[in-house]
Amino acid sequence: MSVTHEFPKDFWWGAATSGPQSEGRFHKAHRSVFDYWFDTEPAAFFDGIGPNVASNFYNDYRADIALMKQIGLNSVRTSIQWTRLIKDFETGETDPDGVRFYNNVIDEFVRQGIRPVLNLHHFDLPVELYEKYGGWASKHVVDLFALFAKRCFELFGDRVKDWVTFNEPMVVVEGEYLYEFHYPKLVDGKQACQVLYNLNLASAKAIAEFRKSTCAQLGGRIGIVLNLTPAYPRSDQPEDVAAAKFAEDYKNNSFLDPAVHGYFTKDLVDVLKTDGVLWESTTEEIELIAKNTVDFLGINYYQPFRAQRREIPYDDAQGWLPEKHFQQYHMPGCRMNPYRGWEIYPKAIYDIAIHVRDHLSNIPWYISENGMGVEGEERFRNADGFIEDDYRIDFIKEHLQWLHKAMQEGSNCFGYHLWTPIDCWSWSNAYKNRYGLIALDLVTQEKTIKKSGLWMHDVIQNHGF
């Protein structure tokens, strides 16, 4: 195969999943907010399917990792569930079965020559910490998270070199406190701002623990995974540009700037202060955030965000929401993934890469998630029994072409991870849309490599396509 898009020999080719979406709830001592939500409102989940079995990674991890190896993935991200590893959240006492399980998983990745990238939080707050303290609105919970992080570094830092504090903390803010798509489904803009701050603080506190750990001394690295939705204005009219600027500051820079530069975006702080919704912080916390920035960035890119000035006046009776300063613009004729309802705009990956190069000190970064969720993929299963997902191959190719161009122009990207290795459970969408390189039969739990998995195998072998 002749390669027109060549990537570095040590490029991370991989895929990402998470504990709560793959493991199943087997032998877990505690419930996460998602476990609790499913137990109390199963109808909120597509086809009434919750996280109980997921893709059965808890029992199948050896065979699953072997399939990942068969594709040739050299790195895989998953997450450690707080609710599985820790028995007592206040003291950090660990659960023996949780320790055994994650040790086995890590050992198996290492044995198979796959670099394990471990994330500490993937939307899976222990529900007890929400009930007792108010979850991420509480600074005590921030400290408990740092304790959990410390335990993870102590237990697994000898073998895991790449750590992530949070996956998509903005989704916690938006899903739980603004737009009601994650439990507890609140609409409370002021609390959302405090949670946004507390998540940044929790990430910095976990990084501070990491810096003290032997893992850091052994050359380990720590980063954060952010979902970036680059904000494009409807037009170049100043009001549309200003609307997009606020959306960019709120949705993206609110985590990017503290993570990479150690400070909060001044323009954002000014607006939140004027609006009376700025978070409570102390000088010590701000210093801690300044000192504990990341070694690398993971960027999840799925869709852009298009913004316009407000045309419908903002109704203050609903309290403060970021939409006070912009309105979402639904661009006519844009390319959509109809199953997920997300715009497909591959060029944004290039824009992100150039932004990292020019405004984020060209920090080492990788695409930690990108992917296409498709409903009803069984209809693409051919006579030989495997799924012909050419649309996914095209989707990945287009994104990689833009990424390649940005790397040629100097962006410091070291990898590409697809969401996801094996079709997994997608929160309230459950198994509606499939994202994997490997198909999961929900009834038999049989797992088979899709055409995209075979294609990815060749890309990895050839260091490009």
Which residue number, 138 or 429, has a Cβ lying nearer to ligand BG6? 429
Q: Is 369 an interacting residue with respect to ligand BG6 (CB under 6 A)? A: yes
**CB 375 to ligand BG6: min, Å:** 10
Which residue number, 64 or 209, has a Cβ lying nearer to ligand BG6? 64
Q: Are strands 327-328 and 336-337 parallel, antiparallel or unpaired?
A: unpaired
User: Alpha carbon of 243 to those of 41, 236, 296, 326: distances in Å?
Assistant: 37, 11, 29, 5
Q: Mapping DSSP to helix (H, G, I), strand (E, B) and coil, where does residue 275 land?
A: coil
Which residue number, 259 or 272, has a Cβ lying nearer to ligand BG6? 259
Start-to-end CA span in the chain (Å): 8
Which residue number, 22 or 191, has a Cβ lying nearer to ligand BG6? 22
Give dist(CA 369, CA 337) in Å, integer: 16
Options 64, 168, 209, 423; binder of ligand BG6; rule CB under 6 A? 168
Binding mask 431-460 for ligand BG6 (x = CB under 6 A): --x---------------------------
Options 31, 139, 151, 340; binder of ligand BG6; rule CB under 6 A? 340
**CB 424 to ligand BG6: min, Å:** 7
Which residue number, 77 or 139, has a Cβ lying nearer to ligand BG6? 77
Length in residues, the chain: 465
Which residue number, 411 or 433, has a Cβ lying nearer to ligand BG6? 433
> Beta-carbon neighbour count of residue 44 at 10 Å?
16
Q: Is 325 an interacting residue with respect to ligand BG6 (CB under 6 A)? A: no
Q: Is 83 an interacting residue with respect to ligand BG6 (CB under 6 A)? A: no
**CB 230 to ligand BG6: min, Å:** 16
The CB-based long-range contact list for 207-213 (8 Å cut-off, 24+ gap) reads 207/165, 207/292, 207/293, 207/294, 208/146, 208/288, 208/291, 208/292, 209/146, 209/149, 209/150, 209/153, 210/149, 210/153, 210/163, 211/292, 213/150, 213/153, 213/154, 213/157
Give dist(CA 462, CA 465) in Å, integer: 7
Q: Is 303 an interacting residue with respect to ligand BG6 (CB under 6 A)? A: no
Judge whether 389 and 401 are in contact, CB under 8 Å.
no
Q: Which stretch binds ligand BG6 (CB under 6 A): 39-47, 93-101, 137-145, 427-435?
A: 427-435
Give dist(CA 66, CA 313) in Å, integer: 55
Give dist(CA 190, CA 328) in Å, integer: 20
Q: Which stretch binds ligand BG6 (CB under 6 A): 24-32, 54-62, 343-351, 422-430?
A: 422-430
> Beta-carbon neighbour count of residue 320 at 10 Å?
17
> Active site residue: 174, 343, 369, 377, which one?
369
Which neighbouring-strand residues pair with 306? 232
Q: Which stretch binds ligand BG6 (CB under 6 A): 55-63, 163-171, 280-288, 444-452?
A: 163-171
Question: Cβ-count burial of 70 within 10 angstroms (0-12 exposed, 13-18 middle, 19+ buried)?
Answer: middle
The residues in 42-61 that bind ligand BG6, with binding defined as CB under 6 A, are none
Q: Is 64 an interacting residue with respect to ligand BG6 (CB under 6 A)? A: no
Q: Which stretch binds ligand BG6 (CB under 6 A): 91-99, 165-173, 253-261, 384-392?
A: 165-173
DSSP per-residue letters across 24-85? -STT-SS-BHHHHHHHH-GGGSGGG--TTTTT-HHHHHHHHHHHHHHHT-SEEEEE--HHHH
Q: Is 429 an interacting residue with respect to ligand BG6 (CB under 6 A)? A: yes
Q: Which stretch binds ligand BG6 (CB under 6 A): 1-9, 92-100, 164-172, 200-208?
A: 164-172
User: Alpha carbon of 94 to those of 29, 59, 80, 350, 461: distances in Å?
Assistant: 10, 20, 12, 42, 40
**CB 319 to ligand BG6: min, Å:** 26
Which residue number, 300 or 308, has a Cβ lying nearer to ligand BG6? 300
Indicate if 23 belongs to the active site: no
Query: Is the peptide bond prior to 283 cis by the omega test (within 30 degrees of 0)?
Result: no
**CB 45 to ligand BG6: min, Å:** 12
Which residue number, 167 or 194, has a Cβ lying nearer to ligand BG6? 167
Indicate if 375 belongs to the active site: no
Instruction: Give how far the C-alpha of residue 137 lies from the chain's centroid of Cα atoms, to the nearest Å.
Output: 20
Q: Is 419 an interacting residue with respect to ligand BG6 (CB under 6 A)? A: yes
Q: Is 176 an interacting residue with respect to ligand BG6 (CB under 6 A)? A: no
> Active site residue: 168, 174, 285, 323, which one?
168
Which residue number, 17 or 194, has a Cβ lying nearer to ligand BG6? 17
Q: Is 227 an interacting residue with respect to ligand BG6 (CB under 6 A)? A: yes
Q: Which stretch binds ligand BG6 (CB under 6 A): 3-11, 27-35, 215-223, 421-429?
A: 421-429
For residue 448, what are its two tokens?
């088979």
> Beta-carbon neighbour count of residue 390 at 10 Å?
11
3-state SS track over 297-336: EEEECCCCEEEECCCCCCCHHHCCCHHHHCEECCCCCCCE
Q: Is 366 an interacting residue with respect to ligand BG6 (CB under 6 A)? A: no
Catalytic residues: 168, 369
The residues binding ligand BG6 (CB under 6 A) are: 18, 21, 167-168, 171, 227, 300, 340, 369, 373, 419, 426-427, 429, 433
